[in-house]
Structure 1
Amino acid sequence: MNNSAYTDVQTLQVSFNSQRAAFSNERMPDLATRQDRIKRVVDFIVEQQDDVVAATIADWQHKPAAFIKAVEILPVINHAKVVRKNLKQWMRDETRRADFPFNMVGAKTYIKYQPLGVVGVMVPWNGPIAMALVAAIDAFSAGNRVMVKISEFSPAAAALLSEKIPQYFEAAELTIVTGEVDIAQAFAALPFDHLMYTGSAGTAKHIMAAAARNLTPVTLELGGKSPVIVDSDTDMVYAAQRTMSGRLINSGQGCITPDYVLIEKPLLAEFLAAAKAAVATMYPFESAGEDYASIATDAHFRRMNELLEDARTKNCRIEEINIGADASKRQFTPVIIIDPPADSRVAREEIFGPILVIKTCDGLQAAIDHINAGERPLALYYFGGEKGKQQVLEQTHSGGVAVNEVMMQLMMSDLPFGGVGHSGMGSYWGGGAGYKRFSHAKSVFEQGWYKNIAAMMDPPYGKTIANMLKMGLKKLR
């Protein structure tokens, strides 16, 4: 099989043209073809799992192997299982009801889902292999060809994919693209039939601008400051433990990790003590950060220190939790910052690291008002009872919500994943959302046995159309 990494604009265009030509020769792949492509994704990730672990560690310096398999490999397999199980049903035409009077004479209306063509996927550095393959599975399920641009900040993962994927896929099926910013810019400018980007909101604006020149539809999976509301009627120890688990998984480098906590001031001391205890239990000092992930890049590690230093210069209350983190491995000591001022960087920016902000407020409504005053987050978490839950669900907007838990909305195979507003647009992953995202829902009308019924509306107009209008032009009851 012939596939390779593309590092210049000319060969990038050649690859795109090759995929476009291949799609033109196979516009509606059958179920078996789609199932086979999904199977080969799983064959790759299972057979190359040791290399996936090694490449991830090479890019990150330190990351537990068990964690890598749990978040970079297992979700791909689980997603593929769900898609393969349901794909036959998803591919069926979706029957709709014809309007009167066409329904009286045997007319049919239905939706036929068609592949879009060539789908471009741009993945970030914090989970490039899993995100690339999950998106590819969704695009394959819909019958598309796929090109994936791997982040330049994940060189080992990019090298692994560009070297090994050709053993499983023809380049006209799945192409891995590597390269620096210039290649990413050229990639976004290709006239894809759909372009999916996962990353920062700032970069997403440039991606959208490039796609707009080709009228390419986009799916944007971004992020934002995902809040945790801790209500007064919750179990503080449980809420703190789950919040810190979510904040420190992958050292906080995930798009739906909890960013900050909103809690009433009288509850702060109890929550803070429970949070520290939870961290000490998960990452005991004597283990010296064995199960604690590094910060992905030197630049991001510097940014974490800059965020912390900015908080110090603004005289914030800072609680560091010593777990034996090793800075030489780019491990950043977990930090909790309490009530930083609005102009501090940790209050304004998505943190994307093991720093948790706690903001005290005057109750649930004040917490809701604070969230609504900012950009809509990708995820929102609520710990509390039924009454507060309904208030939060009805009065806030976010991509997804978890109640009395964090991050599990992403793990549910029947729930779509996506953002809203500043945190993204469009959904994929669960519930068949990816299949529909990368398909065109073609509306089809088939005339029934009485073929002259539409001609009743042709001129010259007379009693027939007058009677029809009389039947239809009525107020609703």
Structure 2
Amino acid sequence: MKNDLPEVAALEGLLREQRTAYLRAPYPSWDQRAAHLRALRDVLLDNRDALADAMNVDFGNRAKEEILLAEFLLVKEEIDGALRNGKRWMTAQRRATNKWLLPARAKIVPQPLGVVGIIVPWNYPVLLAAGPLISALTAGNRAIVKMSELTPRTSMLFEQLIAQTFARDHVAVVNGDAKLAAAFSAQPFDHLLFTGSTKVGHDVMRAAAEHLTPVTLELGGKSPAIVGPGARFDYAVDSIVAGKTLNAGQACIAPDYVLVPRGKEQAFIERARVRMAHLYPDFARNRDYTSIISPRHFARLQRLADEAREQGAQLHALTDSTADANTRRFPPVAVTHAADASMLMQEEIFGPLLPVVPYDSIDDAIRYVNARPRPLSLYLYEEDKATIARVTHETIAGGMSVNETLMHLACESLPFGGVGASGMGAYHGYEGFVTFSKMKPVFTQSRFNGRELIAPPYGKRVRALLALMMRH
């Protein structure tokens, strides 16, 4: 269906421009790719204060230190890792041939796909724009990035900085509302990466299917934290609270609910209050705690809490402050006895509400996790090696951290991606390079080979060779 919006027409023209440029130079050298990565690193780090200031305004309040730690440091490490390893990644890989094909040779040749589309969410706008872009550039691609309209100042500044750094037919940023995002996902990219909600992920995949565009979907879901029977309990609570309150829980990998041994619920809440007082003293005036991104998102969190309470849940404030719609500050709240059918337990929370769910045995905890859609992340706190092995092998999640939250994302050598309802495909490190490459198999026949020995007309010789080859 043709879309007459001028922004869409411009997007379509930009895609044609990039594809034409790709066909002129389809295989950039490592020196060219490395120069692009260094240019991206330089422009982002040189402008980190301005981008952090813009993000702070977009959110209403977000501490610069948190932004630098959670976004810019990860971007820098990802680029540095690509610069260390990218030349090796793009080298052809020799593969073995079976004895009947000798002396032929086989190899895998990584090739850039062409033009990559990247759709960025609002919660970590620099990290989730630059992260996929790093993988795409390392693989030698061109890219168009669609930023979120919910972070307008950050998105506009990011667009300006990229335009100053890259030719338009190499890397470009577009900004617009949900209509442009829908049109973006319907373009015939060579690969499309979307980070966002599972609900919108369905729409993106349907739109991409029109052109059979391959997709990487980084979605979300309800990521569990399991406090095992052999956990260092206070450490586990402290770590979970720190992971849940980073960016006020507005993260796809934030712990969504916590499973604790039955009878430990109140101990968890009391320790969480101690930890909150340490992390965010004088909470009402503390500037380290992030605001909720918009009035709509704030109201949704309030609805989740109110509905859970109406259905019998108990809400336990972890600070002495209450939610403030004017500043969009939503203090963390632990929730017990939440009904399984409540929105709180069915939807990804994406905020500082933390259901605490008791279990009787580690078998019950594993069953609880496996009875629900596969999460993007799983967090286990446990010292017993056998229990750690069981949970690792008997649950499926996009990624897992043991005795930690969030940090698997910070490890640039690990792929990051979902499974099932939490997404498909992965990026970061070598796996990101592969995602944005065609790993082309190449078979090279030797001048002297046995191909004629199995060619028609078939007779005794071919039958004898087949009998030899099929022996087992």
Is the partner of 2:193 in helix, strand or coil? Answer: strand
The code of the aligned residue for 2:91 comes to R
User: Take 2:394 and 2:265, find their aligned partners in 1: how far apart are those partners?
Assistant: 24
Percent sequence identity over matched residues?
36
The code of the aligned residue for 1:412 comes to C
The code of the aligned residue for 2:466 comes to L
Q: Which moved more, 1:329-338 or 1:453-462?
A: 453-462
User: Take 2:447 and 2:341, find their aligned partners in 1: how far apart are those partners?
Assistant: 69
User: Is 2:403 the partner of 1:398?
Assistant: no
User: Take 2:292 and 2:304, find their aligned partners in 1: how far apart are those partners?
Assistant: 14
2:252 alignment counterpart = 255
User: Take 1:342 and 1:225, find their aligned partners in 2: how far apart are those partners?
Assistant: 13
Q: TM-score, normalised by structure 1?
A: 0.95
Q: Which of 215, 231, 235 is residue 212 of structure 2 equivalent to?
A: 215
Q: Which of 126, 131, 134 is residue 129 of structure 1 equivalent to?
A: 126
Q: Is the 8 A contact 1:7 1:183 kept in 2?
A: no
Q: Tell me the alpha carbon deviations over residues 8-28 of structure 1, each in whole angstroms, 9 at most, x when there is no partner.
A: 111111111100100010000
- How far is the alpha carbon of 1:258 from its aligned partner? 0.5
Q: Is the 8 A contact 1:317 1:337 kept in 2?
A: yes
Is the partner of 1:243 in helix, strand or coil? Answer: helix
1:274 alignment counterpart = 271
User: Take 1:184 and 1:115, find their aligned partners in 2: how far apart are those partners?
Assistant: 24
Q: Tell me the alpha carbon deviations over residues 197-255 of structure 1, each in whole angstroms, 9 at most, x when there is no partner.
A: 00001101110111100010000001110001111111110110011111111100111
Q: Is the 8 A contact 2:273 2:318 kept in 1?
A: yes
The code of the aligned residue for 1:93 comes to A
Q: Tell me the alpha carbon deviations over residues 92-139 of structure 1, each in whole angstroms, 9 at most, x when there is no partner.
A: 001000112222xx2110000000000000010101111111111110
Q: Is the 8 A contact 1:228 1:260 kept in 2?
A: yes
User: Take 2:230 and 2:428, find their aligned partners in 1: how far apart are those partners?
Assistant: 34
The code of the aligned residue for 1:408 comes to M
- How far is the alpha carbon of 1:326 from its aligned partner? 7.0
The code of the aligned residue for 1:333 comes to P
User: Take 1:66 and 1:264, find their aligned partners in 2: how far apart are those partners?
Assistant: 35
Alignment of 1:168-317 (within 5 A): 168-285=165-282, 288-317=285-314
Q: Is the 8 A contact 2:269 2:316 kept in 1?
A: no
Q: Tell me the alpha carbon deviations over residues 303-350 of structure 1, each in whole angstroms, 9 at most, x when there is no partner.
A: 111111111211211101225577232110110001201111111111
Which consecutive unaligned segments of at least 5 residues does structure 2 have?
none
User: Take 1:40 and 1:372, find their aligned partners in 2: how far apart are those partners?
Assistant: 44
User: Is 2:155 the partner of 1:151?
Assistant: no
- How far is the alpha carbon of 1:467 from its aligned partner? 2.6
Q: Tell me the alpha carbon deviations over residues 355-384 of structure 1, each in whole angstroms, 9 at most, x when there is no partner.
A: 111111221111111111110000001111
Q: Is the 8 A contact 1:288 1:324 kept in 2?
A: no
Q: Is the 8 A contact 1:288 1:323 kept in 2?
A: no
User: Is 2:135 the partner of 1:138?
Assistant: yes
Q: Tell me the alpha carbon deviations over residues 5-62 of structure 1, each in whole angstroms, 9 at most, x when there is no partner.
A: x961111111111001000100001111111111111111011112111110111010
User: Take 2:63 and 2:275, find their aligned partners in 1: how far apart are those partners?
Assistant: 19
Is the partner of 1:8 in helix, strand or coil? Answer: helix
Q: Is the 8 A contact 1:376 1:423 kept in 2?
A: yes
1:435 alignment counterpart = 433
User: Take 1:58 and 1:7, find their aligned partners in 2: how far apart are those partners?
Assistant: 29
In structure 2, do the counterparts of structure 1 residues 368 and 326 end up closer, same or farther at CA, with 3 Å as the change threshold?
closer
1:30 alignment counterpart = 29
User: Take 1:125 and 1:417, find their aligned partners in 2: how far apart are those partners?
Assistant: 18
User: Take 1:369 and 1:9, find their aligned partners in 2: how far apart are those partners?
Assistant: 47
- How far is the alpha carbon of 1:286 from its aligned partner? 6.0
Alignment of 1:99-118 (within 5 A): 99-103=98-102, 106-118=103-115
2:408 alignment counterpart = 409
Q: Which of 442, 459, 462 is residue 462 of structure 1 equivalent to?
A: 459
In structure 2, do the counterparts of structure 1 residues 220 and 393 end up closer, same or farther at CA, with 3 Å as the change threshold?
same
Q: Which moved more, 1:264-273 or 1:337-346?
A: 264-273
User: Take 1:326 and 1:60, find their aligned partners in 2: how far apart are those partners?
Assistant: 16
Q: Tell me the alpha carbon deviations over residues 372-428 of structure 1, each in whole angstroms, 9 at most, x when there is no partner.
A: 111000000111121211111111110011111111111112111111100000010
User: Take 2:273 and 2:154, find their aligned partners in 1: how far apart are those partners?
Assistant: 34
Q: Is the 8 A contact 1:289 1:323 kept in 2?
A: no
Q: Which runs of 4+ in 1 moved over 3 A?
A: 323-326
Q: Is the 8 A contact 2:269 2:318 kept in 1?
A: no
In structure 2, do the counterparts of structure 1 residues 449 and 333 end up closer, same or farther at CA, with 3 Å as the change threshold?
same
Q: Which moved more, 1:288-297 or 1:109-118?
A: 288-297
- How far is the alpha carbon of 1:271 from its aligned partner? 2.1
Q: Is the 8 A contact 1:232 1:267 kept in 2?
A: no
Is the partner of 2:126 in helix, strand or coil? Answer: helix
User: Take 2:101 and 2:446, find their aligned partners in 1: how far apart are those partners?
Assistant: 7
The code of the aligned residue for 1:411 comes to A
Q: Is the 8 A contact 1:283 1:323 kept in 2?
A: no
Q: Which of 355, 358, 367 is residue 357 of structure 1 equivalent to?
A: 355
User: Take 2:193 and 2:453, find their aligned partners in 1: how far apart are those partners?
Assistant: 46
- How far is the alpha carbon of 1:455 from its aligned partner? 2.3
Q: TM-score, normalised by structure 2?
A: 0.96
1:471 alignment counterpart = 468
CA RMSD of aligned residues (A): 1.4
In structure 2, do the counterparts of structure 1 residues 323 and 456 end up closer, same or farther at CA, with 3 Å as the change threshold?
farther
Which consecutive unaligned segments of at least 5 residues does structure 1 have?
1-5
Q: Is the 8 A contact 1:102 1:448 kept in 2?
A: no
1:3 alignment counterpart = none
